[in-house]
A = this chain, B = another copy of it.
Amino acid sequence: MALIVQKFGGTSVADVERIQAVALRVKGEVDAGNQVAVVVSAMAGVTNQLVDYVEQTGKLYDTQEYDVVVSSGEQVTSGLLALALQSIGVPARSWLGWQLPIKTSSAHAKARIEGIETEEILTSMKAGNVAVVPGFQGISQKNRVTTLGRGGSDTSAVALAAALGAERCDIYTDVNGVYTTDPRIVAKAKKLDKITYEEMLEMASVGAKVLQTRSVEVAMKHGVRVQVRSSFSDEPGTLVVNEDEIVEQELISGIAYSRDEAKITLVGVLDQPGIAAKIFGALADANINVDMIVQNVSADVNHAATDLTFTVTKADLERAVATVKAHAQDLGYKDLQSDPNVVKVSVIGVGMRSHAGIAQRMFQSLADKGINIQVISTSEIKVSVLIAEEYAELALRSLHTTYGLDGDE
């Protein structure tokens, strides 16, 4: 007998019929002799509706009350799933965030889980009840409702699995698992049986939105074995695990991409200490996240000026340009160029830590297709390049073949 946490996303609980299908799936684990805790999202579309209501009251809103409103969707689903389970003979009860409680920081609308009380829920589970827990929600030290930010239910599930000492945390979603790349673009993309936490983090951060990034961080920290699998099929999914659980590590696990990038280049920036701090300080003050940053050594003879390129999300581009222009005098650049038509393509794999030449093969593969690389950035297990958006599909397919990832079409 094992203790398992299952998490079902919004499309898996979109209506009562689907909630009943989820109940059957939960019953499967119970019938197999397991103790089960289930974490649920709000029914698809509900959270958006609630956020819309909040925004109708005013653009600048109190996130404490925002959390009161938007956390209600998961409450509804958890009650309904408990009822659906009971109606097929599976004893079940819901545990709301304040009932366990799930204690979080006070950063409303983006709170972090700090601890989960498990004594009562474990007693109930040991007595044979399935525990149904709404994702996304918790309470602050001041006893106010908090939420974890969009996609937070993944994190709720992983944190609950960690607190309960679960053997596995199964994240049911509308895809079959984690793929070597986007199968909608590359027909030969393969589902991965296993992937490391680190790789999963890089995949998530570059746009493969299968798991919320924070949930992978929590899983990694507590060593929770996470399985990403489909609510709509019985196939096994992808296990996200520690590196040492993966016997035959591939060199490269996947190719990810993000279209949500826009590029800004400042030409002829003064090459003085403190200039970069000024630019990115101003952007940070405006709450704009900067992703890639590239600054070359000064090309001119006097080392007096250099070019600086960085990327922001497409949504932030306009504000970022305005913010930089507002500091134009201070920064003393000659020209500002911006381009929203770029895509970031990343090659990811823990194997590259011990293998040279991964980046070179990437650059060569892109060059062979005549694709110009605008910006390069690397981490220990990732090489990312920024290229013109129109080359996205070509680049993905080409790199997928280059690193030997192609499966059956």
Contact = CB atoms under 8 A, between A and B. Distances in A.
Contacts of A82: 62, 65, 68
Counting chain B CB atoms within 10 Å of each CB, which of A61, A68, A93, A143 scores highest?
A68
B76 A50 contact: yes
Interface stretch (A94-102, A173-181, A226-234): A94-102
A106 interface: no
Contact of A99 (B54, B73, B78, B143): B143
B79 A58 contact: no
A57 interface: yes
A312 B301 CA distance: 100
Contact of A57 (B53, B73, B80): B80
A213 interface: no
A348 B175 CA distance: 65
A68 B79 contact: yes
A69 interface: yes
Given A93-B64, A143-B99, A57 B72 contact: no
A377 interface: no
A283 to B, nearest CB: 29
Interface stretch (A83-91, A350-358, A378-386, A389-397): A83-91
B53 A76 contact: yes
A28 to B, nearest CB: 18
Interface of A: 16, 19-20, 50, 53-54, 56-58, 61-62, 64-69, 71-73, 75-76, 78-80, 82-84, 86-87, 93-94, 96, 98-99, 143-145
Q: State the 4 A-B residue pairs at the shortest beta-carbon distance, nearest first.
A: A68-B79, A58-B87, A69-B79, A16-B56
8 contacts: A53-B76, A57-B84, A57-B87, A58-B87, A64-B93, A65-B82, A96-B145, A98-B98
